Structure 1
Amino acid sequence: MSDITEVSRLLSSRAQSVAEYLLPRGKKDGAEWRVGSVDGEPGQSLGVHLSGHKAGVWAEFNSGEAGDLLDLWQQARRVSLSQALSEAREWLGIVRPEPYREPKKEYARPPKPNCSAPTSKVRDYLIEVRNIPAEVIAKFKIGEAGDDIIFPFLLPDGTLAMAKSRKAADGEKPKPTAANCEPVLFGWQAMPEMAREVVITEGEIDALSWSAYGIAALSVPYGGGGGAKQRWIESEFERMDRFEKIYIATDMDKEGEAAAVEIASRLGRHRCMRVKMPFKDANECLVNGLPVKDMLELLANAAHLDPEGLRRASDFTDKVMELFWPSHDGQVGYRTPYKKLGDKLLFRPAELTLWTGISGDGKSQILSDCMVDWIGQGSRVCLSSLEMHPAQSLKRMCKQTVGVDRPTEKAIRGALTWLDQGLLLYEKVGKSGVKGLLEIFSFARAKYGCDQFVIDSLMRLGVDQDDYTAQEKALFELVDWTLANSVHVHLVAHSRKGDKDRGVPETGDIKGAMEIGANAFNIIGVWRNRKQEDQVKAAASEEERATLNEKPGVILNVAKQRNGDFEGKIGLWFNQESYQYQSSHDRSDWNRRYLPRGEAA
């Protein structure tokens, strides 16, 4: 992904071309590009290194200014760092992958709080109890409303996205002043324009405390923890582009660690480092008198949150306990919507599931039915249906969401809005290479927190059906990416059986290399009983037809489940009206709905 580190590296690799583009009136002098100043007039004062390990480094000797080519881009073009990044990407020909359909959320802008600059209790509390300097209070535009501290969450352009208030007393918790506000970081109003390093904290006062040490800081809006608590990343993803180093200084507790892991995994482990503090948070460091040099040393000693290596068995105690005794708020994996399976089959993080069967037996349709239910369970799914246009996929999912064959315009809009909470679609029909597809998936994982990915199908990944070596390589790439990102990938792979009457596909029936099935964590076979369908159509009476319909028309075979105890077959009944599958022939039980009845009308 083309974050600031990658853009800076690419610019340095083309240092002479960049120098000529930004400063066309200069000239080459040995291993440097020489010009008078960042304004571009002829001269010798400013030099840009064109090769070697210093390629792209520049300095202007008259002013003392120096930096890399992104700094030079800002100075020469008179633009902000964010704008310089955007222009540099365009110049380099880097295009960000964007989903066809992304989750949308309508946010409300809060009314401006009725407050003023702190002059009494708020000012006394922040300065005397929390040791925050008056100039820092002013820089962050902190407000006072009686005994309440007002923390304004301002965007870089000055827009008020959110505000929080709390009593000026220890033990109080800040709360939003208005509902349904956009989750953004606190502190952009105090961010130096040229800053390329930032500290992320777990509270507004901690951001003020780092600033008191002269270090740029932003605070997360909703504290520690992972998952939904870090939804701010969606809103701030592009704005965080500008930072080469992100120091994560969340609290030194379990929730702070969970937040650090989530933030680093989505913003990039290569530029995120965990800060270990001698006290619970930055404000305790400030109150206890830690000097600036000690805080700078904490940053210097910050470590990358690299993937874990060898561990002791006891290090996994909590995770093993969770597998045996899941907490009510824990998410071991996502279920299918079929009651007969229940928790017997779970789609867990860091696993790949193969869905197989002959063409037309319903693999993609059952997966679509599951995706709707997964969204209802809280999953965020990214679908790459290389065999079907997104609009066609959404037509089917609308029926499965609403539960009727011909939904009204109101119901269609309601279904699409409901799907927005957890569905992205990659608009590409045809063949797609694994590398390009994983770039799209990485973006969806990083920005939107997608935790399940669907590829339909293996034959559309640009691998020849007879090239078993290439198929094996493609599977290895998918599995490696799945493990590295702790997500679940569903891959549709056709069965090699051509005889439609030969029964339910097993692990050895997948078309292609043997390694395809061997490297999958789960294998699910789908078989449609076409002979029974013909018998139903030919039934001489309603009684005979009803008797035949008591038998399932589809068999779902859990042929392999590496991390589960269940393997076996269940029957499914297809509901032609809703395109849903049910695990009972009793139609009174066919009432699975995701929209309130009023919205589904």
Structure 2
Amino acid sequence: MPLPTRVLWAERNFGSCTRVFAINTRHTWRYPLYSPPVTQNRLYNAYPALDTSYIKPKTYFGLGTTGHVESKHYSPKHNEVIEFLNSNFQFPRKTANAEELAIRCPKCRPRKGTYYTAIIRTDKGTFKCSDCQTVGLWYEYTRRFNDSELSKLFSTIESLGFRSNFSKPKEEIERYSTLMKDYPEVIKWFEKSKGLTQETLEIFKVGVAKYHNIDPSNSLREEFCITFPRYAPYYNHADQIEPDSQIVRIKAWSTESEETVAFDPPSTVTGLFGYDLVPHHGEEIILAGTEFDAMAAYQETKIPSTCLPHNSYQLSIEVLPLLERFSKIYLWFDDDVAGQDAAEKFAEKLGIERCLIVKSLNGQLDGPVNAQQALEAGKDLKEIIKSAKPLQHEQIIGFEWLRDSVYRELVNPDQVQGVQSIDLPGLNQVLKGHRRGELTIFTGTTGVGKTTVLSQLSLDYCKSGVNTLWGSFEIPNVRLAKKMLQQFAGKELTKENIKEFPIWAEKFQQLPMYFLKFFGSTELTKVTAAMEHAIYAFDVQHIIIDNLQFMLAEQARYHNDRWELQDRTVGTFRRIATERNVHITLVVHPKKDEREFLDINSIFGSAKVTQEADNVVILQRRITENGEIRYLDIKKNRFDGTLAAIPFEFDHESLKIRQLTKLDHDSRLKIRRKAH
């Protein structure tokens, strides 16, 4: 195909690679030209036949809502600079010159002092940083905001057509906080149980409302709830510098069951609890684990405070732009294993140099583990926050830096063992829990129910706060999501009860569950790039790959190459699990085996597959005279060596598996022996 002699050109970042596309001005086709580092001069040097003198300003090539390509000669239109800064939550600040705004430098992040070290011209878009002396044009500034291609590789329940608007009129939602005064018993509960004053509740606009909840019989009912609003900045007009705030989401929390009943709307949106209290020129903020901790911290320290947007330790990319403006962020999570692990992870995500980790125990062996408990216990929260320290990032440390971590693991053995399964208590007795940093190999014969069991187990852990990524290479995401939704509801959503679908869908949508859009044979590099992005963007802790054979199908040129390809893939997943501290569950088909029960040597591939694994689980099936019995057969357990087979049966009504009691299991086997 001949190269065009007259082109439009566009630079686009793909992870660590930048690709330039030439677009024929007569025909709409693309031609990849060059990889990084890329400039217009290098493009011309590489392909001198190209005429790059004609560059159409601000031409869109499907780069998303915020990314766009501009010529270096392009001058922004009236108010375009301010509109762009506001839409990307850059919070510009006024200066003495009306045509200049103070912004954060797009290239440097000062360790001390203000982040607003750069000045940008509102008429030309040129910027200069007084700290690193970086000078740039408007097109260079806007390029850094191009949407990531990796974000297109994920889907959620929302993308399958689930509603994501408020369930009630906006005016009614905004009145929730004004209704609190009509419930003095609730205000008294906050004061006695949480140590929070009525003034604090009013400042954070805590309210009351009724939302649907799931009762113990798995039925839906309305329940009285406390509401915690999430706020986000918005701009009424194009040249507005200081934003107003608006409610973008509600968290409804039940005092009766002490759990989150609903997020309204269910989809994740950019917004944080208490964010409307942050002054426009504020430089510091407390990021706590829960709304109670955030309110306690603010009540005692008067430092603007917010909390994680979800119920789990997840700091999604949707809210990261709201935190970029701060030069100091206090991370105040539970002073236990899970909380401090999250604090360290988020400090790296937000920037170690601007994060301080708060420890509620403050060097003590016991006591309150978070801000709300410290308030209730009468501790001085100002003194606790003064003792906050940055994350140590030296490669060599002494035991004094490990002392607190060792103690936390000794007093929280349940957290070290991992997240417990609710549906299969027998699994907890054998594997002790679902732990990060491990690789589990899961196998079983065709039709034995591997995907059904894994979808239920992943849903089980996800409901306990384990952020989960599903990579289904054999079953389309819609079918998988349909199965999981019905398992979540505990019944088939048929025509008779389809009216319940919207409520169950909204409940399910609030889970931290994500899906890879890949299907069938997919290159390992594409899969791992998406996994790495999910770990960073969504704080994913559990990744399921179902299954290895479908993912690698037809990629080996020769028969013997299959073993090398599979070994390399398993080794890569092992490395990611260890280095990124995530649990990877990998489904692998077994070899053709006529035996009734498979063993660890029945797994398809070389010995490397099982050698790299921390756990090996085989789904077994036994036919008896009194029905079929299936087993989760744990053949390898690197954590403590315990091995066992857990009997279960499939419940057609709930579409879930149910663990058999010892009595049920033994009675079925006795009947079989009598028959012989």
- Normalising by the smaller structure, the TM-score range is 0.5 to 0.7
Aligned residue pairs: how many? Answer: 468
For 1:160, give the aligned amino acid: Q
* Matched residue, 2:146: 89
Please list the CA deviations of residues 90-123 of structure 1 after superposition, one character each: whole Å capped at 9, or x if unmatched. 6xx8453452115797667534989xxxxxxxxx
Q: Tell whether 2:314 aligns with 1:236.
A: no
Contact conserved, 2:648 with 2:658, CA < 8 A, in 1?
A: yes
* Matched residue, 1:433: 523
Contact conserved, 1:250 with 1:259, CA < 8 A, in 2?
A: no
Change (3 A) 1:201 1:503: same
Deviation at 1:89, TM superposition (A): 1.9
Q: Tell whether 2:241 aligns with 1:156.
A: no
The residue correspondences of 1:362-377 to structure 2 (distance < 5 A) are: 362-377=449-464
Q: Tell whether 2:539 aligns with 1:482.
A: no
Which runs of no fewer than 5 residues in structure 1 stay unpaired?
A: 25-32, 40-52, 115-144, 165-178, 212-217, 282-286, 289-294, 537-546, 590-601
The residue correspondences of 1:148-547 to structure 2 (distance < 5 A) are: 150=203, 155-157=232-234, 158-161=244-247, 183-184=272-273, 186=275, 190-191=279-280, 199-202=284-287, 219-222=304-307, 228=311, 233=316, 235-237=318-320, 239=322, 247-250=328-331, 255=335, 262=342, 265-266=345-346, 268-269=348-349, 271-273=351-353, 275=355, 305=393, 314=403, 316-322=405-411, 324=413, 326=414, 332-335=418-421, 337-345=423-431, 346-405=433-492, 407=494, 408-422=497-511, 423-462=513-552, 464=556, 466-467=560-561, 468-496=563-591, 498-499=592-593, 501-529=594-622, 532=623, 547=625
* Matched residue, 1:101: 156
Deviation at 1:585, TM superposition (A): 7.5
Secondary structure of the residue aligned to 1:361 is: coil
Change (3 A) 1:382 1:587: farther
Secondary structure of the residue aligned to 2:458 is: helix
TM-score by length of 2: 0.54
Distance 1:279 1:348 in 2: 24
Deviation at 1:568, TM superposition (A): 1.8
* Matched residue, 2:9: none
For 1:110, give the aligned amino acid: E
Change (3 A) 1:508 1:231: closer
Please list the CA deviations of residues 4-63 of structure 1 after superposition, one character each: whole Å capped at 9, or x if unmatched. 997999999435569989999xxxxxxxx9989999xxxxxxxxxxxxx99xx9999x99
Secondary structure of the residue aligned to 2:174 is: coil
Structure with the bigger RCO (C-alpha within 8 Å, sep 6+) is 1
Identity within the alignment, %: 14
* Matched residue, 1:582: 658
Report the structure, 1 or 2, having the larger helix content: 1
Please list the CA deviations of residues 431-486 of structure 1 after superposition, one character each: whole Å capped at 9, or x if unmatched. 22333223333343334343222110112333647433332332232122222333
Change (3 A) 1:564 1:219: farther
Secondary structure of the residue aligned to 2:499 is: helix
For 1:222, give the aligned amino acid: C
* Matched residue, 2:128: 66
Deviation at 1:155, TM superposition (A): 2.5
* Matched residue, 1:563: 639
Q: Tell whether 2:38 aligns with 1:14.
A: yes
Change (3 A) 1:351 1:150: same
Distance 1:22 1:112 in 2: 53
Please list the CA deviations of residues 265-287 of structure 1 after superposition, one character each: whole Å capped at 9, or x if unmatched. 35854833355599999xxxxx9
Change (3 A) 1:381 1:455: same
Distance 1:264 1:429 in 2: 34
Contact conserved, 1:383 with 1:425, CA < 8 A, in 2?
A: yes
Change (3 A) 1:507 1:338: same
Secondary structure of the residue aligned to 1:566 is: coil
Distance 1:368 1:437 in 2: 20
TM-score by length of 1: 0.59
For 2:436, give the aligned amino acid: P
Corresponding residue to 1:548 among 611, 617, 626: 626
Change (3 A) 1:437 1:318: farther
Deviation at 1:587, TM superposition (A): 12
Distance 1:70 1:321 in 2: 49
Change (3 A) 1:418 1:434: farther
